Amino acid sequence: MSKPIPLATWKTWWGPELAAKIGAHLHSCLDPRKLPGNGVLLKKTEFKTEDLRDPLTGSIAEGLLRAYPSDKQPSGYLLGDAMLELDRLLGHCILGTPELGNPIKERSRRDDALTEGGKLKKLLSFVRTSACKSDVGRSCDVTYLKQLANNRVKRMNHRSSAAPSPAGAGVSPSDSLSSPASCDSLWLI
């Protein structure tokens, strides 16, 4: 397979490996049967806290928080490259098959990837900003994402003297945090 052509053709701080890593994390967090279709990954372009309770949006945010470097500002171009990688991993079911012989169709496909990368950038920025304002959300899912954004997720059983697990080893919202009763075991640090 040939080396993918990045959306940002100028010199950047990232390489194709990082875009591939982010795309793979997104792929591992997504259920392809839940994708909205019509060439989009996210339906919205602006986000509110209640949007993070949506299983698809929450899964995408989790994948971004786990893979994107926490010391770097979100880049729409990097996330667009990650979108191209995600599309490749999903068998080109989001953006369509690459049209290398037809530059007009390929440009349109790459523009769609950049548009989706911009939405991913807004989502990642929103979660990070929201986490700075408050550590706690109105649901376990939102609290989990905020703590993940702050690199402060730890699981504890408040009824036992077990030591907390290492940072980042929390259980995702798709696991046991989706029920209100399991919120008891999520502690802020």
Number of domains in the chain: 1
Q: What is the pLDDT of residues 114-134, one digit of tens each?
A: 999 999 999 999 999 999 888
Question: Whole domain around residue 139: which residue ranges?
Answer: 16-153
Q: Is residue 162 part of a domain?
A: no
Which helix (H) or strand (E) segment holds residue 83: the answer is: helix 76-89
Q: Is residue 81 part of a domain?
A: yes
Q: Is residue 174 part of a domain?
A: no
Q: Is residue 44 part of a domain?
A: yes
Q: What is the pLDDT of residues 133-144, one digit of tens each?
A: 887 888 888 898
Query: Which pLDDT does position 181 carry in this prediction?
Result: 36
Q: What is the pLDDT of residues 13-43, one digit of tens each?
A: 998 999 999 999 999 999 988 888 888 999 9
Selected residue with higher pLDDT from 4 and 113: 113
Q: Burial, 31: exposed, middle or buried (Cβ in 10 Å; 0-12, 13-18, 19+)?
A: exposed
Query: Which pLDDT does position 73 carry in this prediction?
Result: 93
The residue to which tokens 């989990």 are assigned = 144
Q: Is residue 172 part of a domain?
A: no
Q: Is residue 98 part of a domain?
A: yes
Q: Is residue 163 part of a domain?
A: no
